[in-house]
């Protein structure tokens, strides 16, 4: 599908007033880390919008009608992909911008409104010579097209001079693209000291000098975007490039640290490993390959990573020929090869080598804390268990497997829990409700006419039933409770919790899963008022160090966590916790000393007591309820969250929320560090009850009407091309309040296509029934059409 937009920006070969953007067609393949070669002009908006165009699962390849129907949904999203990414007023410095990648970056930034410093020493690809011609030509080209740019001819080893050029010309520096580079390829035995030194001076030392010169200015203005340029040679190694590989991988380490140090000042640093034809690669790549690897196929990623709306930080991306992929570290679970009070031997390493190198069930550490955390876990395991011998006996494995399996289905003793308005208010205060917000008064004042119990108080009721010691009595679950972590939590309300009441809880071990590094125990808790089910909890507890017994890894009994949409959130709320937050929350019944006793917290590896995960859980649920349901507890149906990292009392919680129909996806971060502490989370809300159920006049009061009319206007220009691809007639029934409000037909089978109101004039290939609200959510990219289908919407 091609859309012509006179207001958008141009491709590299046209003037900056008009362009054509082509979207990849819907295909019957699973999601891939690449773009099909259907992009005529590769724009940064495509990088931003890739997550808005969901790939179809394989079954749709055999169902053209349904696949084509979803193509229409995808096309609606594409129509509203958003305005071009602009850099008006931003000052961008690109090193090595006299040709190749640097020139493509400079031109792309300039045509989108940036003031550009075009730096180039003017030498050859070996770093020999200098001159002003390369930089001047690019500056002239930018100015000829109406852009603003200045040239700089200094070596990147003189970073201060280059940044001074930006400050003198434009008064600030917002973006640094470290692109300058040279080659001195030799086999390792033939590399001279000069070959080694000059590569590191230009690539690593030069990037350091330029970035350091810009750093303080970015910190003062609380904004900065930095790109480091690594390469596949640095990531994987390459024959004849030992000097180049070492410098390029060094840039990745530098970028990772800058991402951490710059985060609190809104300075983001990312690394790219591009494949593109340039002055450097023209001697090592055939001419036809250089043509296929145009620098213009790399520039859109750089622009997206440098845009103020992009939140990516510390990422590593390979890019080339219109393909983009993100890389990450992966680590095997490994093996403990020593025992307490015994020497570690190479024989033990040899005996465990297969396990050491086995990437099944591998972890994916993202920080040094996660890396060292596993070492602390190993030391604890060695101290408590004497280490792990080189060979487990089959008998031991069998015993462990049968022991855990025997726990499944075992019931905990029944537990009754009574509470009054006092406990409900105490809980609300514990999760941040405050008199500062008048809307919170209904949760903290029993005299309020709409006094209500917060829905997540249901976890307190369920938690009490498993904290009475009954879990330790379950056969097969002998465990050290000091090693138990709360992994995930699910809560479902069958009706709003009463302001006070008495509930009877029944708990059962639903399943036990072997995760290799530990055991996950799934506990279901049903809470009844009289004989009526009021709420249901599912606790996922992770027992560190007890895995590897040969049990199953997954279960259909688990309430699955769901990743948040890959787009900017629809709403963000923040709350600063009190230094006394954990002390207050524990009064609701969670007496774990980890949250109050500094000595106990120290034994667990924390500098100080941490906040209860369920307290953060309550804060986040309150944010969702407030923003999307106006604190109407009757709309709260369910919540699921995964506990990712700890929070310290006094830190500020930031809840990011995405609306997809009646499901609100969310994740919670610690403001300032950016750490995600609750992930893969969602709240399900009941639909609003104030929508009239009356049948609407045909098309009246429906938001979707304007969208169908807009599709009809676009089909006048591009209809024949779409008809060739789709070849189907779609009849849409748009509902509101449970009744059909309008019928529309999109004919993508005949002539140049047509959109008209009313049923299909003939047989429709596919009829789609969708509420007006969900239709608009699909159009705006907030609701995945596949999910809508499978959810019965």
Q: What's residue 373's pLDDT?
A: 64
| pLDDT of res. 211 | 98
Which has the closest alpha carbon to 158: 190, 130, 185?
A: 130
Do residues 13 and 296 touch, judged by C-beta distance below 8 A? Answer: no
What's the pLDDT score for residue 681? Answer: 97
Does residue 597 register a pLDDT over 70?
Answer: yes
Better pLDDT: 69 or 54: 69
pLDDT at 16: 44
Q: Which CATH number fits domain 561-690: 1.10.10.10, 3.30.565.10, 3.30.1360.120, 3.10.129.10?
A: 3.10.129.10
Tokens of 290: 């250089």
- pLDDT at residue 484 tops 90: no
Task: Please report the pLDDT score of residue 271 as a whole number.
Answer: 98
Instruction: For the chain, give the mean pLDDT.
Output: 82
Average pLDDT over residues 269-279: 83
The region of weakest confidence among 92-101, 226-235, 678-687, 773-782 is 773-782
Looking at per-residue confidence, does 72 or 607 come out higher?
607
Query: Does the structure show a pLDDT above 70 at 45?
Result: no
Element (H, E) at 461: helix 457-466
Give residue-wise pLDDT tens across range 685-695. 988 643 333 33
Is the model more confident about 165 or about 58? 165
d(CA 277, CA 282): 6
Instruction: Check residue 766 and give its pLDDT.
Output: 85
Q: How far apart are CA 710 and CA 503, in angstroms?
A: 54
Give the span between the Cα atoms of 392 and 737, in whole angstroms. Answer: 62
Active site residues: 244
Q: Report how far residue 501's alpha carbon sits from residue 463's, in angstroms, rounded to the nearest whole number.
A: 16
More confident call, 677 vs 81? 677
pLDDT at position 751 is: 87
Instruction: Give me the mean pLDDT over the 402-424 stretch.
Output: 84
Q: Per-residue confidence at 35, pLDDT binned at 50, 70, 90?
A: very low
- Quick one: average pLDDT of 574-597? 93
The CA distance from 595 to 464, in Å, is 17
Structural tokens at position 218: 């970015």
The whole-number average pLDDT for the span 640-664 is 95
Contacts of 194 (CB under 8 A, 6+ apart): none
pLDDT in the model for residue 376: 61
In 3-state terms, what secondary structure has residue 746?
A: strand
Q: Do 561-690 and 91-327 have the same topology in CATH?
A: no
> In terms of pLDDT, which residue wins out, 701 or 544?
544
pLDDT of residue 693: 33
Looking at per-residue confidence, does 549 or 455 come out higher?
455
Report whether pLDDT(783) > 70.
Answer: yes
What class does CATH assign to 704-790? Answer: alpha beta
Of 234 and 361, more confident: 234
With beta carbons less than 8 A apart as the criterion, state whether 706 and 685 touch: no
3-state DSSP call for residue 659?
strand
Give the DSSP H or E segment for 706: helix 704-726
**Local confidence band at 786 (pLDDT 50, 70, 90 cut-offs):** low
Q: pLDDT value at position 80? A: 42
pLDDT at 3: 30
What is the band of 417 on the pLDDT scale with cuts at 50, 70, 90? confident
Dihedral angle, C-alpha 691, 695, 697, 701, nearest 10 °: 10
- Compute the distance between CA of residue 614 and CA of residue 492 in angstroms, rounded to an integer: 15
Q: Is the pLDDT of residue 288 over 70?
A: no
H or E element: which one contains 641?
strand 636-643
Report how far residue 514's alpha carbon sits from residue 401's, in angstroms, rounded to the nearest whole number.
Answer: 9
- The residues spanned by each domain of the chain are 2-79, 91-327, 346-392, 397-559, 561-690, 704-790
Q: Is the pLDDT of residue 103 over 70?
A: yes
> What is the arithmetic mean of pLDDT over 565-589?
95
Q: Token pair of 55, please?
A: 């790939």
The share of the chain scoring above pLDDT 90, in percent, equals 52
Mean pLDDT of 532-561: 86
pLDDT at 177 over 60: yes
Superfamily for the 397-559 domain: Hotdog Thioesterase (3.10.129.10)
Query: Which H helix or E strand runs over 717?
Result: helix 704-726
In 483-612, alpha helices (H):
581-585, 598-603
- For residue range 495-525, what is the model confidence (pLDDT) as tens digits? 999 999 999 999 999 999 987 777 899 999 9
**Predicted local distance difference test score (pLDDT) of residue 116:** 98
- CA distance linking residue 226 with residue 263, whole number of Å: 12
Which of these CATH numbers, 3.30.2130.30, 3.40.50.720, 3.30.479.30, 3.40.640.10, describes 91-327? Answer: 3.40.50.720
* Residue 732, Cβ density class (10 Å: 0-12 exposed, 13-18 middle, ≥19 buried): buried
pLDDT confidence of residue 286 = 60
Contact 319, 272 (CB under 8 A): yes
Of the listed ranges 338-342, 415-419, 592-596, the least confidently predicted one is 338-342
Residue 4, pLDDT > 50, answer: no
Q: How many CA atoms lie within 13 A of 188 on its CB side?
A: 6
Backbone angles phi, psi at 155, to 5 degrees: -70, 150
Which is more confident, 749 or 398? Answer: 749
Percent of the chain with pLDDT over 70: 78
The CA dihedral of 287, 99, 178, 153, to the nearest 10 degrees, is 150
pLDDT of 390 above 50: no
């Amino acid at each position: 599908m091609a859309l012509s937009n006179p207001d958008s920006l141009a491709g590299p070969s046209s003037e900056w007033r008009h362009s054509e953007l082509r979207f990849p067609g819907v295909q019957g393949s699973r999601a891939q880390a690449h773009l099909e070669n259907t992009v005529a002009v590769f724009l940064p908006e495509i990088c931003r919008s890739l997550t808005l165009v969901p790939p179809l699962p394989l079954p749709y390849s055999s169902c053209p009608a349904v696949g084509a129907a979803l193509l229409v949904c995808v096309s609606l999203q594409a129509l509203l992909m958003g305005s071009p990414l602009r850099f008006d007023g931003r000052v961008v410095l690109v090193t090595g911008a006299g040709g190749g990648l640097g020139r493509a970056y400079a031109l792309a930034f300039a045509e989108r409104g940036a003031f550009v410093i075009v730096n180039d020493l003017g030498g050859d690809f070996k770093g020999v010579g200098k001159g002003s011609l390369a930089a001047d030509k690019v500056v002239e080209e930018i100015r000829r097209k109406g852009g603003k740019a200045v040239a700089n001819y200094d070596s990147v080893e003189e970073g201060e001079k280059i940044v001074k050029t930006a400050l003198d010309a434009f008064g600030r520096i917002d973006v640094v693209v470290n692109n300058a580079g040279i080659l001195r390829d030799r086999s390792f035995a033939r590399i001279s000291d000069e070959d080694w030194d000059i590569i590191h001076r230009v690539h690593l030392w030069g990037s350091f000098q330029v970035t350091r010169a810009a750093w303080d200015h970015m910190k003062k203005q609380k904004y900065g975007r930095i790109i480091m340029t690594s390469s596949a040679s640095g990531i994987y190694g390459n024959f004849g490039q030992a000097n180049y590989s070492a410098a390029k991988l060094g840039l990745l380490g530098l970028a990772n640290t800058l991402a951490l140090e710059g985060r609190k000042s809104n300075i983001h640093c990312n690394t790219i490993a591009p494949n593109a034809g340039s002055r450097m690669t023209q001697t090592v790549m055939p001419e036809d390959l250089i043509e296929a690897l145009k620098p213009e196929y790399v520039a859109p990623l750089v622009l997206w990573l440098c845009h103020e709306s992009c939140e990516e930080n510390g990422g590593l991306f390979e890019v080339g020929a219109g393909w983009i992929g993100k890389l990450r570290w992966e680590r095997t679970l490994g093996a403990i090869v020593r025992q307490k009070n015994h020497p570690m031997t190479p024989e033990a390493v040899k005996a465990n080598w297969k396990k050491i190198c086995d990437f099944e069930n591998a972890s994916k550490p993202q920080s040094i804390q996660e890396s060292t955390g596993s070492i602390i876990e190993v030391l604890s395991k060695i101290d408590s268990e004497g280490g792990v011998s080189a060979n487990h006996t089959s008998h031991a494995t069998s015993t462990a497997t049968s022991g855990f399996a025997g726990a499944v289905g075992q019931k905990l003793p029944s537990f009754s829990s009574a509470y009054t308005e006092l406990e409900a208010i105490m809980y609300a205060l514990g999760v941040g409700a405050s008199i500062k917000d008048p809307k919170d008064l209904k949760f903290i004042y029993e005299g309020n006419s709409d006094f209500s119990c917060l829905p997540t108080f249901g976890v307190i009721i369920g938690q009490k039933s498993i904290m009475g010691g009954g879990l330790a009595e379950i056969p097969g679950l002998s465990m050290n409770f000091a090693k138990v972590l709360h992994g995930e939590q699910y809560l479902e309300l069958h009706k709003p919790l009463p302001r006070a009441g008495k509930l009877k809880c029944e708990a059962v071990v639903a399943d036990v899963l072997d995760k290799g590094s530990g055991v996950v125990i799934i506990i279901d808790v049903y809470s009844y008022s009289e004989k009526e089910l009021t709420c249901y909890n599912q606790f996922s507890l992770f027992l560190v160090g007890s895995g590897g017994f040969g049990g199953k890894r997954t279960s259909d009994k688990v309430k699955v966590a769901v990743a948040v949409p890959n787009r900017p959130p629809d709403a963000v709320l923040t709350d600063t916790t009190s230094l006394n937050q954990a002390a207050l929350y524990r009064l609701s019944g969670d007496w774990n000393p980890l949250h109050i006793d500094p000595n106990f917290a120290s034994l667990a590896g924390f500098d100080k007591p941490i906040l209860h995960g369920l307290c953060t859980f309550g804060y986040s649920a309150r944010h969702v309820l407030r923003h999307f349901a106006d604190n109407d507890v009757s709309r709260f149906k369910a919540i699921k969250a995964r506990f990712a990292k700890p929070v310290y009392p006094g830190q500020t919680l930031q809840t990011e929320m995405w609306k997809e129909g009646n499901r609100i996806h969310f994740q919670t971060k610690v403001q300032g560090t950016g750490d995600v502490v609750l992930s893969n989370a969602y709240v399900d809300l009941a639909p609003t009850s104030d929508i009239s159920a009356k049948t609407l006049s045909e098309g009246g009061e429906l938001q979707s009407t304007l969208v169908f009319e807009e599709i009809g206007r676009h089909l006048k220009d591009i209809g024949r091309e779409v008809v060739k691809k789709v070849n189907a007639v779609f009849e849409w029934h748009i509902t509101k309040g449970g009744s059909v409000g309008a019928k529309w037909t999109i004919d993508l089978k005949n002539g140049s296509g047509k959109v008209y109101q009313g049923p299909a004039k003939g047989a429709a290939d596919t009829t789609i029934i969708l509420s007006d609200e969900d239709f608009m959510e699909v159009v705006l990219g907030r609701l995945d059409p596949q999910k809508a289908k499978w959810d019965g919407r």
